[in-house]
Amino acid sequence: MSCPPNLLTSRFGDGLAVGPDLVAAAESAVTQALAPMRGQRPDLLCLFVCGDDPAMVESAATRAMEVAGARTTLGCGAGGVIGAGRGVENEPAVSVFAACLPGVRCTPLHLELVRIPEGVAVTGMPDRRDDDAVAVLLADPFTFPVTDFVQRSHDDLGGLPLIGGVASGPHGGESARLFLDGHSVRGGAVGVVLGGPVTARPVVSQGCRPFGPPMTVTRAEGNVLLELAGTPALAKLEQIVAGLPAEERSAAVRGLQIGVAMDEYAEEHERGGFLIRGIVGADQQRGAIAIADVVEVGRTVRFQVRDASTADQDLEELFTRFRAEAPPVGGALLFSCNGRGRAMFPSADHDVLAVRAGLDTTGVAGFFAAGEIGPVGGRNHLHGFTASILVFGADGS
């Protein structure tokens, strides 16, 4: 049974506590997140723990799940957490998001990679229902094929939107932790499918602006671009960058990306119409550029730049459009790249403050992810340097 209606309470809450005693921090963060609910039991609780000791991370999460008593709980370890209007990076801390979702079906999931006679398969995804709206997914990148799963999810899951992030641990490898319904889960991915009368919409901010002309990929091998518009790719890049004003040229060098057009038939390929991918290397001898994706010959691409001012402007524009189209916001889950925070902005608080101000809401929590999951152009993708946000309507349904 979901939280009953009560106009004196909020259906969303968030909390954050910092300190070396992670168990005490977990208790405090849960207490903060539940306070606006005035004793109502949350339907969904998400928790995120940053700490140097995986065992302590696990203990803190277990205690948080015990104290909260939520109907569905999921969470993970992270290199930084977000809540109570703050972002905390590389410091022992716990953040919590709590939600009352009247009438909404919360179906927990634990995905695992298993061997089958034909190779490997992912198990644990609940059967798709017609009224499933969105799934939150937290993945361990060392034990789960998150890139392949997300790329195939549109077809395999019937277009179900995914939103979430990639967990991390203090020592890499096996130090990442996932949590689901009172238990610590070693490996795979955990999440929840929200179905029924749920007002929850994903918003993904890639934070880039294009420069130079749109170009057709005329030669490519896998993730290596050999020619753009009939010119060696590296020479084309150098030509375009050289033609920029000095200030823009410096920004392009620091934050160079490439965008792959999502709609080849669009009359114009402008900002927001691209899936952003990183440039991971260059081959001077071949005049080639390697990017963080496979792009087929014939696709349209355009170089992009990412910097703090562009990322800030992108969030502001997204939220302005969202508020014009959507009902009032009650709360939000925020999955921000661990390359944002203080690495991109003056403060680690930037993204959570932008979400709270842009959506005119509190009840915002999440973590700094090692990869962000969210839909762009109607398909799910694994991103980098983005802010992926799941926005809930104020009525909680």
pTM for the full predicted model: 0.93
CA distance 13 to 103: 18
HSE of 392, CA atoms in CB hemisphere, 13 A: 31
pLDDT along the chain (397 residues), means of 10: 53 97 98 94 98 96 97 97 97 98 96 87 94 97 95 94 96 90 95 96 94 96 97 97 91 91 74 88 96 95 93 94 92 97 96 97 97 95 96 81
For the four alpha carbons of 298, 155, 207 and 383, in that order, the dihedral sign comes to negative
Residues paired with residue 369 on neighbouring β-strands, in sequence order: 337
Q: What residue type is assigned to position 331 of the chain?
A: G
Task: Phi first, then psi: give them for residue 15, nearest 5 degrees.
Answer: -150, 155
Domains of the chain: 12-205+312-393 (no CATH), 209-305 (2.40.30)
In the prediction, which pLDDT does 171 show? Answer: 85
Other CB atoms within 10 Å distance of the CB of residue 114? 11
CA dihedral 88, 89, 91, 92 (to 10 degrees): 60
Which H or E run contains 132? strand 132-139
32-58 pLDDT, tens digit per residue, is 999 999 889 999 999 999 999 999 999
In the prediction, which pLDDT does 149 show? Answer: 96
In the prediction, which pLDDT does 270 show? Answer: 66
User: What string of DSSP letters covers 356-388?
Assistant: HHHHT---EEEEEESSEEEEETTEEEEESS-EE
In the prediction, which pLDDT does 70 show? Answer: 97
CB-count burial class (<10 Å; 0-12, 13-18, 19+) for 59: middle
CA distance 342 to 321: 27
